[in-house]
Structure formats: C-alpha cells, structure tokens
C-alpha cells in the first residue's frame, strides 16, 4: 500500500502551490473578483518606485521596510516578471515548511508518520498556500523566524539565530515578543554574571544574543534611515502605534475603534490600554511559564495571545502562529486519544467563531448590510473569547 | 454704469407674434412655448462698484452652479458638474499670515454669496486655482452685488459668477423665459436685449443666430433697435448618444456604471480628431483607488484632491476629488464601470445608512477642430482663465461633444453606519477584554501549578 513520506509531502506542497498560482493567474484574468491580494499591488508599486531610484513610501499605504520593496524590484522588469514576488513568497513558504520538517524530525524524536502529518499542517494547508500565492509577504517573515529558531534550538548557534531574529524584527516589529522567551531559554544553561535570584538569569549567552539582535536591528534601521529618512521610521514603525484602524477586522477592539475615531474629543477607552493585557500575557506571563519548558510551544502561545489581543487582526496574522502549530501539537495532549474530543471541539470552536465573524463581515463588505452593532461587535467578541478559551486549553494541554 | 446683456433664445422657427412691444424704454415678449431660454449677463466694472473690494487677498473668484435642468440648451452651455463649483485664486502670498488672511476672506465671501461654509482645508488644489465642489445646487445671494435693482434678475440655480480684482464682477444666469418677459428702463443699468433664433442655414458647428437687439438705457441716443444676424462657433456641442449612469450595489465597493445607447462619434465637418473623456467631481465619502480602479480602457489624466485610501469620511477635510479619464479608443465602449470604495461614515443612531449623493459624471468627446480661432469669439463662450471643471485642461482649439444623461441617471450610494454609541461599545468591549484576560491568566496559572505538582511528584518518586 502506498504511504506518504516527507518527500511526497514536499513534492505535493510544491505542486499545490504551482496549481494555486496558475489558478490565480486565471482568476485575475477572467473573473471579476481578483485572486491577487491588494497588498501585492502595493508592494509591486513600491518596488517600481525603488527601481527608478525613488522612495517606496511614495506609494500610499506602503508601510513596510524598504527591504521588501527591494526584494520585489524584478517585478518591474517586464510582464513575465510581474509574478516574481509571488514566486519568492511561495519559495519562502516552502523553506518555512522545510525548516518545520527539520525541527520536527530533529528534536522531537517523532515517528516519520507523525512528522508527515504535522508538517502537512503547514505544507499542505490551503490557507497558507492561498496567502502566499495571492502575494502576501508573510512567508518571508516566517522564514526569518524559523531560521532563528533553527539556529538556536538545533544548531545552537547564537549569533546566526540572533541575526535572523534581528532581521525579523526589522521586517515587522512583533517578533520582538520572542526576545524575553529566548533570554529565559538561554539563561537555563548559561553562566550567570551574578549568582543572585533574578540577576542570575543574565548570562553570557543571552547577553550575546541580545547584543547581536539589537545590533542587527539598529544597523538595518540606521541604513534605512540614512537612505529614506524619517518617512521610513514613520511608515514602518510609528504608524503602527498611532493608527486607529477603524475598518472592520477580527480584532475585539475594532468596533470600539470605529466609534472612537468618530468622536472629536480625546477620550480614554479600552483601546488606550490594549497593550497592557497583550504584553502582560504574550511577553511576560507566557515566557515565564513556558520558555524554559518548551521554547517553540512558548512562541506558539505567545504569538496566538499577541494576535488575539492585538488592535488589528486579519487572517494573514494567523500565519504568524501557524508556523509553530506543528511543533506545538507534537507536545500537546489535545491530539491524543484521551483528549481527542476536546481537541476537535477546540478546532471546531475556532472555525465556527471565525465563520460567524466572516458571515457578518461579508454582509457588510459585499452586500452593504449594516452589521456593525449587532453582528460584528458580538461576533468579534465571540471570536476573541473563543481564542482566549482556546489559549487556555492549549496552555494546560502541554505535556 | 452696470451693463446688462439679456439674451432670449427662441427655440421655434419664427419670431412672429412673439414681440409684444419695442420702444426706447421697454421691450416685451410673449413666448409661444415654455422652451424659451433667457440668459442675463451683468457686468459690474470696478469703476462703478466694487462689491468685493474689501477682500484684499483674493485675486479671482468663480462660482459656477447648475442643476442640469437645461439639457437641450445649445447656446449658453452651462456644462459643468451638477451642483456648486467654486474656484478661487489668491493674490501673491508672502507669509503664513497672508495665507490665513486669504482663507478667512474666502470663507467670509463664500458665506456671503452662498449658504455654505468653506473652510481652509476643504479646498483642493487644481491646475491653477483652489477648487471646491458641492453636489447640491444652491441659489446665489446677489444682494452683495448691488445690481441696482435690476428687474430682470431672477432666482436661479444655473449661474456663472466671475470676479477678478481690478476688473470687476460678471454674473451670468440662465432660466426659462416664461410666460412673458417685460424689460423696462433702469437709470443705473445699461440694458442690451437680444431675441434670437437659429437660422435655417445653421449647422451644429456653425450656428447662425438671427433676431433683434434692443438697447434700453438712459445713455442711448437715437436708434435703439437693430436687426441682428450673427455667427457662433460653439465650444460645447452635443453627441447623439444618450447615456445612463447609476450605482451597481456592491457593498462597500459600489460600481458607478455608465451605459451608452447608440453610437455618436462627432461627425461635424470641422472636427479633426476626438477622444472620449470622463470627468467626475467625487464626493469625499467615496474613494478612488488610482492603483486599481481606473476603468478598463481608460487612462487617468488627472486626480486632484485627497489621496488617502483608508481614512473615514469624517477624517477627510477636502471636499473630494476631481478626476479625469481619457479613453484611448475614440469610440465609446458599451459601458464604463468605475469601481469606488465607500469611506466609513459617522455613527448615527437615527439611520442605519448614510446616503451619499454625487454629481453625475460628465462624458464628452474632446475634439480638435478647424478654424478654432472662432471659438472664443462667441459671445457665449464659457472658457475663462479659471474654472470650468474640465475646460482648463484642454487647449483652446478643443470643442466638447457632450453625452447627455437620461432622466433615470443618479449617483446615490448607501453606506452603512454604526447606530450605537461609543460608551456602549466601549463598555461591552472592555468587559470582554477583561474577561478574556482573566480566562487566559487563570489557565496559565493552572498550567504552571500543574507543572510544579508534576515536578514534586517526580521528586517524591525519585527519593
């Protein structure tokens, strides 16, 4: 009987991506609703500005590091090159999957069947494939994060790991939440400078890691600032702190933000304090509870919490924690026979709560039905509380 | 002395039985149909009166308003975006104080003339002036012009006011000459009245007007009645094609669809080459995404106004955008789909949707013509230094063949808006966040305690 091995999964994952990509070309050409993500057009436009020696920030709504625009310069080399970026994102997506496979096979002593099944969660996941083939750049970031983990956990190479994390933080700010976990993780085996409670957590290993990460971030930011000036700082970083994202998205804060944006006077509301539960859980509580126990599972829980409590949440953000899901499930009892019902319920709850929100969002976005107050508000809360419950289940499911 | 030129256009083939009386001090007509048009043009030179003289920072102001009620008019051509269109040009601005003073003056002047308030940030910069548009046509308050109590002045939503510092004010207004017109002597106004019809020898590119001119003025000496016959080469003409524009509902991404009935490429003998153009004054509630929404087959010629693609309507200061597309293929396509995006609207607990009304797009063939020097010789030519929506973007030898909308055409977008209050939503969200935080923290604590318990068990077993 034919059974899938990891090479089959990898081949199938390549074939699926090519298939989705070709279908996307067809849909873009012949259908009213386009396959290609709006962001891909933004990246491409920004890249064409770069190609002609201009700033990528001349493109409205380009709010990323210039590195991304640089990477996509070939998009502007002619019609046949326009999909270069998508190819790059698909390749990054596959590299991420490959690192997931390496990590699963390297450290967990899992059977090859389990590696096949777990890695398929990423490699054969239609959501992951759709996101990269539509032209979202998240997979470039996931490569950086997974590379950092790979060098840290498997290769024990602090410098390379720290470099990749620094690059990831430069690319998008949120991976900075992994730093506290890594500091704690490295404190486990390092030699402390001072052997006193708490202070003994400061070791040569984690200080070296911190130094290289900060140096990488600072170096890249310095170079970009030299080239693009304040607009780089504003669009890449400041904007994300000051934005009032009023357009509907999964975030529990979203409808409150819409109402807040509509009042002229300055008021204190829950959104002003949003960072407190977000950082308390994702950057403090989770690292303290899990970093030394299982670093990658800790990353998973941190990222899931970070996204759940974020002021903006779109489905692309799910990619951020999906990269860790295969590893996490290898350590969770939710996939064991004894807890299978709870595991299935958790999955169904996540899907159902998300589908509820999508139902109301679709009615607003494409049918013009007013669903702000009784649909989106309560469904975003339902999704948020479901996520919180799921995070709770995940935390106690770690074996 | 203020000069008044009143032109009455007779759409029939004869003047017989129209004129009731003509003499040195009066002129009366009784139109045979309700299709007669009348245009008053008042010229107020600064030497006579300078009603805008107190505004020291304003170089020029033009207000053009139409309610599109004269679609069949071939002579006077009030062919701009339906609603109020204001253009203003400052005198030399040397400092921020000058700039602020200019905007204050403009705000005050506009509020004297119209029941609208135009703040500094509401203007958009266009080719050579600042521009404001409002889709709702409004009557002009002419009191400020001190027109000497002209009896012919009427209330109108079709007018064109032009002011230039040092020169004066010109006000034109268009209306129906019905049921009768009686014009008498006014000691402060020099009146020149014309009654014309299009002569049989006319063609669309060469209109010959014939009729009578009458001068009624205290300055007029002997002869005051003149038979008149003159030629006009119109800048604005009409295509035989009729179009319909309406919104195709598509949630927050409404499509402005324009469909064409019949074919009507300009065929006049003076026409050299033509392109189809699409001009739109777009309300700030609607977003034009220059990167994705240029209609198929079109090229974006200009887009003035707000470039922000995300902000809600209430965060945008400018009135909207001025957009012009050119279609490379001269013949009109079967239809044009222009995809827009709705900005979020202010919450309103009285209505679930905000109605956004927008002016209809102006579609026209822009054509180069022979003998173009005759265009601006027409006494009815509308092209001036400033204003005219699309006019300043075309060279002087361009004529515009307009495609008229049918009566069903309308650009009305329904945008859903929140109906609750900030306090309620904030309270509900806060409770949810606190509850969610509690769930997670409790479970983390449980997980930590479970791990510690396990570790204690393991220690006990190993001991």
Give B161-214 pLDDT, tens digit per residue. Answer: 999 999 999 999 999 998 889 999 888 899 999 999 999 899 888 999 999 999
B96 and B167 share one domain = yes
B223 and B254 share one domain = no
Backbone torsions φ then ψ of A195, nearest 5 degrees = -90, 65
Q: Which chain B positions have a beta carbon within 8 Å of A268's beta carbon?
A: none
Question: In which domain, by residue range, is B123 found?
Answer: 2-232
Q: What is the pLDDT of residue B329?
A: 62
Q: What is the pLDDT of residue B191?
A: 92
Q: What is the tens place of the pLDDT at every residue in A131-147?
A: 999 999 999 999 999 99
Q: What is the pLDDT of residue B332?
A: 65
Q: What is the pLDDT of residue B223?
A: 83
B376 and B452 share one domain = no
B334 and B224 share one domain = no
Q: Which conformational region is residue B146 in: left (phi greater than 0), alpha (psi within -120 to 50 degrees), or beta?
A: left
What residue has token string 């929100």? A357
Q: Is residue B441 part of a domain?
A: yes
Q: How far apart are CA B271 and CA B285, in angstroms?
A: 39
B158 and B275 share one domain = no
Q: What is the CATH number of the domain that holds B271?
A: 2.60.40
Q: Give the closest-approach CA distance of B440 to chain A in angstroms.
A: 5
Q: Is residue B404 part of a domain?
A: yes
Two structure tokens written together for A274: 């949003």
What residue has token string 């279609």? B327
The answer, yes or no, to whether ipTM is higher than 0.85 is yes
Does A263 have pLDDT greater than 90? no
Q: Is residue B65 part of a domain?
A: yes
**What does DSSP assign to residue B12?**
S
Q: What is the tens place of the pLDDT at every residue in A216-257?
A: 999 999 999 999 999 999 999 888 887 777 889 999 999 999
Q: How far apart are CA B216 and CA B89, in angstroms?
A: 35
B253 and B109 share one domain = no
Q: Are the C-beta atoms of B366 and B325 separated by less than 8 Å?
A: no
In sequence order, the 6+-apart residues with CB closer than 8 A to the CB of B104 are: none
pLDDT category of residue A108 using cuts at 50, 70 and 90: low
Q: Is residue B288 part of a domain?
A: yes
B146 and B224 share one domain = yes
Dihedral, CA atoms, A107, A112, A113, A117, nearest 10 degrees? Answer: 50
Q: Which chain B positions have a beta carbon within 8 Å of A261's beta carbon?
A: 312, 314-315, 344
Mutate which: A251, A308, A370, vs B, most B CBs within 10 A: A370
Which residues of chain B fall short of a pLDDT of 70? 220-221, 263-264, 329-332, 462-463
Q: Which chain A positions have a beta carbon within 8 Å of B343's beta carbon?
A: none
Q: Average pLDDT, whole number, for chain A?
A: 92
B227 and B242 share one domain = no
Q: Are the C-beta atoms of A104 and A96 separated by less than 8 Å?
A: no
The predicted model gives A27-49 an average pLDDT of: 90
B245 and B150 share one domain = no
Q: Are the C-beta atoms of B410 and A363 separated by less than 8 Å?
A: no
What is the number of other CB atoms lying within 10 angstroms of the CB of residue B141? 12
Q: Is residue B99 part of a domain?
A: yes
The predicted model gives A78-96 an average pLDDT of: 95
Q: Give the closest-approach CA distance of B309 to chain A in angstroms.
A: 8
Q: Is residue B422 part of a domain?
A: no
Closest Cβ–Cβ partner in A59, A364, A391 for B252: A364
Chain B residue with minimum CA distance to A381? B432
Does A22 have pLDDT greater than 60? yes
B404 and B433 share one domain = no
Two structure tokens written together for B21: 């009386």
Q: Which of A360, A350, A347 is nearest to A307 (CA)?
A: A350
Q: Which chain A positions have a beta carbon within 8 Å of B353's beta carbon?
A: 368, 370
Is A396 close to B307, i.e. CB distance below 8 A?
Answer: no
Q: What is the pLDDT of residue B205?
A: 87
Q: How many domains does chain B have?
A: 3
Closest Cβ–Cβ partner in B314, B420, B443 for A373: B420
Is B344 close to A247, i.e. CB distance below 8 A?
Answer: yes
Q: How far apart are CA B69 and CA A324, in angstroms?
A: 66
Residue that finishes a domain, picked among B217, B232, B247 = B232
């Amino acid at each position: 009987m034919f059974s899938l091995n990891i090479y089959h999964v990898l081949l199938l994952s390549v074939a699926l991506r090519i298939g989705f990509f070709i279908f996307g070309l067809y849909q873009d050409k012949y259908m009213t609703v386009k396959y290609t993500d709006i962001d891909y057009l933004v990246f491409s436009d920004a890249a064409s500005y770069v190609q002609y020696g201009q700033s990528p920030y001349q493109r409205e709504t380009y709010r990323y590091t210039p590195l991304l625009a640089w990477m996509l310069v070939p998009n502007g080399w002619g019609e046949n090159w326009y999909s270069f970026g998508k190819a790059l994102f698909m390749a990054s997506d596959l590299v991420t999957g490959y690192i997931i496979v390496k990590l699963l096979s390297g450290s967990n002593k899992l059977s090859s069947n389990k590696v096949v099944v777990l890695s398929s969660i990423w490699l054969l996941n239609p959501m992951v494939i759709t996101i990269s083939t539509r032209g979202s750049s998240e997979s470039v970031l996931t490569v950086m994060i997974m590379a950092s983990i790979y060098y840290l956990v498997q290769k024990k190479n602090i410098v390379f790991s720290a470099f990749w994390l620094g690059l990831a933080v430069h690319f998008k700010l949120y991976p900075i939440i992994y730093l506290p976990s890594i500091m704690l993780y490295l404190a486990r085996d390092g030699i402390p400078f001072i052997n006193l409670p708490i202070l003994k957590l400061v070791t040569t290993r984690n200080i070296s890691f911190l130094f290289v990460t900060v140096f990488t971030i600072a170096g890249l930011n310095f170079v970009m600032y030299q080239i693009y000036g304040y607009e780089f700082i504003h669009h890449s970083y400041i904007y994300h702190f000051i934005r009032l994202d009023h357009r509907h998205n999964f975030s529990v804060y979203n409808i409150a933000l819409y109402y807040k944006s509509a009042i002229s006077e300055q008021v204190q509301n829950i959104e002003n304090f949003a960072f407190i539960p977000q950082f308390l859980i994702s950057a403090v509580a989770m690292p303290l509870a899990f970093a030394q126990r299982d670093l990658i599972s800790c990353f998973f829980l941190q990222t899931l919490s970070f996204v759940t409590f974020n002021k903006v949440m779109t489905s692309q953000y799910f990619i951020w924690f999906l990269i860790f899901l295969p590893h996490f499930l290898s350590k969770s009892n939710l996939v064991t026979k004894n807890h299978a019902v709870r595991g299935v319920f958790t999955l169904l709850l996540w899907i159902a709560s998300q589908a509820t929100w999508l139902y109301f969002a679709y009615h607003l976005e494409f049918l013009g039905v007013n669903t702000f107050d009784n649909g989106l508000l309560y469904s975003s809360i339902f999704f948020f509380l479901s996520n919180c419950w799921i995070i709770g289940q995940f935390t106690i499911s770690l074996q | 002395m203020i000069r008044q030129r009143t032109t009455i256009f007779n759409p029939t083939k004869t003047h017989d039985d129209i004129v009731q009386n003509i003499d040195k001090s009066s002129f009366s007509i009784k139109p045979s149909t309700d299709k007669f048009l009348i245009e008053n043009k008042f010229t107020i030179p600064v030497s006579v009166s300078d009603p805008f003289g107190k505004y020291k920072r304003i170089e020029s102001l033009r207000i053009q308003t139409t309610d599109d009620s004269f679609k069949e008019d071939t002579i006077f051509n009030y062919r701009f975006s339906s609603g109020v269109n204001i253009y203003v040009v400052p005198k030399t601005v040397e400092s921020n104080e000058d700039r602020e003073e200019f905007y204050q003056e403009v705000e005050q002047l506009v509020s004297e003339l119209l029941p609208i308030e135009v703040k500094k940030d509401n203007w958009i910069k266009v080719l050579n002036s600042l521009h404001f548009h409002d889709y709702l046509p409004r009557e002009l308050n002419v009191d400020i012009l001190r027109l000497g109590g002209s009896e012919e002045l009427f209330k109108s939503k079709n007018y064109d006011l032009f002011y230039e510092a040092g020169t004066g004010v010109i006000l034109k207004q268009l209306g129906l000459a019905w049921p009768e017109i009686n014009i008498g002597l006014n000691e402060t106004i020099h009146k020149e009245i014309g009654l014309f019809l299009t002569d049989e020898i006319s063609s669309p590119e060469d209109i010959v007007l014939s009729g009578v001119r009458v001068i009624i003025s205290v300055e007029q000496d002997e002869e005051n009645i003149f038979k008149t016959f003159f030629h006009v080469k119109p800048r604005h003409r009409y295509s035989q094609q009729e179009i319909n524009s309406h919104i195709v509902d598509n949630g927050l991404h409404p499509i402005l669809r324009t469909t064409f009935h019949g074919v009507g490429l300009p065929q006049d003998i003076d026409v050299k080459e033509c392109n189809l153009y699409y001009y739109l004054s777009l309300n700030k509630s609607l977003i034009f995404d220059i990167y994705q929404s240029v209609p198929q087959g079109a090229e974006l010629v200009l887009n003035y106004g707000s470039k922000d693609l995300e902000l809600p309507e209430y965060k945008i200061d400018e009135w909207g955008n001025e957009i012009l597309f050119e279609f490379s293929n001269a013949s009109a396509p079967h239809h044009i789909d222009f995809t827009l995006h709705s900005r979020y609207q202010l919450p309103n607990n009285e209505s679930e949707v905000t109605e956004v009304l927008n002016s209809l797009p102006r579609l026209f063939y822009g054509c180069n013509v022979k003998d173009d020097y005759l265009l601006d010789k027409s006494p009815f030519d509308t092209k001036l230094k400033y204003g005219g929506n699309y006019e300043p973007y075309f060279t002087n030898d361009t004529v515009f063949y307009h495609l008229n909308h049918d009566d069903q055409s309308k650009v009305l977008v329904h945008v859903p808006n929140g109906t609750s209050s900030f306090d309620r939503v904030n309270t509900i969200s806060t409770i949810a966040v606190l509850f969610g935080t509690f769930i997670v923290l409790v479970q983390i604590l449980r997980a930590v305690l479970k791990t510690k318990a396990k570790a204690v068990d393991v220690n006990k077993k190993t001991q």
